[in-house]
Amino acid sequence: MNITRENIDALNAVVKVDIAKEDYSGKVDKILSDYRKTANIPGFRKGHVPMGMVKKQYGKAVLVDEVNKLLQDALNKYLTEEKLDVLGNPLPKPQDNLDWDADMLSFEFELGLAPQFEIDLAPKDAIIHYNITADDKMIADQIENIQKQYGKLIATDTVAKDSEITGTFKNEAHDIENTVTLTLDKFKGKATEKQFIGAKVGDVLELQTKGLYADDHELMHALKIAHDAVHDLDITVTFTITEINTRELAALNQELFDKLFGEGEVTSVEGVKEKIKADAEKQFQQQSEQKLLNDVTEYLVENTAFDLPAAFLQKWMQTAGEKELTEAEAQEEYAKSEKSLRYQLIEGKLISENNIQVSMDDIKEHAKNMIKMQMAQFGQLNPSDKELEDIAARVLSNQEEARRISEQIVSQKLLALYKEKANIKTKDITYDDFVKEVYGDK
Question: What percentage of residues in the chain have a pLDDT greater than 90?
Answer: 76
**Strands 176-183, 424-430: pairing kind:** unpaired
Average pLDDT over residues 38-59: 79
pLDDT at residue number 225: 93
Instruction: Say yes or no to pLDDT of 59 above 90.
Output: no
Contact between residue 101 and residue 13 where contact means Cβ atoms under 8 Å apart: no
Instruction: Say yes or no to pLDDT of 441 above 60.
Output: no
- Residues 56 and 189 occupy one common structural domain: no
**Strands 236-248, 152-155: pairing kind:** antiparallel
Q: What is the pLDDT of residues 317-361, one digit of tens each?
A: 999 888 999 999 999 999 999 999 999 999 999 999 999 999 999
- Residue 440: band (very low, low, confident or very high) from pLDDT cuts 50, 70, 90: confident
- Residues 276 and 313 occupy one common structural domain: yes
> In terms of Cα–Cα distance, which of 284, 281, 282, 270 is closest to 143?
270
Phi, psi at 332, each rounded to 5°: -65, -45
Instruction: Return d(Cα 96, Cα 188) in angstroms, integer.
Output: 70
CA distances from 287 to 107, 371, 435 (A): 53, 21, 11
Q: What is the pLDDT of residues 276-315, one digit of tens each?
A: 999 999 989 999 999 999 999 999 999 999 999 999 999 9
DSSP string, 169-193: EEEGGGTEEEEEEEEGGGBSSHHHH
The answer as to whether 261 is a domain residue is: no
Q: What is the pLDDT of residues 159-178, one digit of tens each?
A: 999 999 999 999 999 999 99
The answer as to whether 118 is a domain residue is: no
- Residues 42 and 171 occupy one common structural domain: no
pLDDT at residue number 150: 93
Phi, psi at 368, each rounded to 5°: -65, -40
Instruction: Return d(Cα 376, Cα 383) in angstroms, integer.
Output: 9
The answer as to whether 82 is a domain residue is: yes
Which of 218, 248, 278 is where one domain is finished? 248
- Residues 418 and 295 occupy one common structural domain: yes
Instruction: Say yes or no to pLDDT of 442 above 70.
Output: no
- Residues 273 and 381 occupy one common structural domain: yes
pLDDT at residue number 252: 95
The answer as to whether 119 is a domain residue is: no
CA distances from 203 to 41, 153, 177, 178, 187 (A): 92, 21, 16, 16, 18
Domain count, the chain: 3
Which CATH number covers residue 238? Answer: 3.10.50
Instruction: Say yes or no to pLDDT of 108 above 50.
Output: yes
Which one is predicted more confidently, 44 or 388? Answer: 388
- Residues 280 and 187 occupy one common structural domain: no
The answer as to whether 225 is a domain residue is: yes
Average pLDDT over residues 9-26: 94
Phi, psi at 363, each rounded to 5°: -65, -45
Domain extent for 433: 269-439
Q: What is the dihedral of CA 192, 194, 198, 201, to 10 degrees?
A: 0
Instruction: Return d(Cα 229, Cα 218) in angstroms, integer.
Output: 13
The answer as to whether 367 is a domain residue is: yes
Q: Give, for 221, the enclosing helix (H) or strand (E).
A: helix 216-223
- Residues 102 and 164 occupy one common structural domain: no
Contact between residue 115 and residue 87 where contact means Cβ atoms under 8 Å apart: no
Average pLDDT over residues 62-70: 92
C-beta neighbour count of 129 within 10 angstroms: 18
Which CATH number covers residue 24? Answer: 3.30.70.1050
Which one is predicted more confidently, 207 or 379? Answer: 207
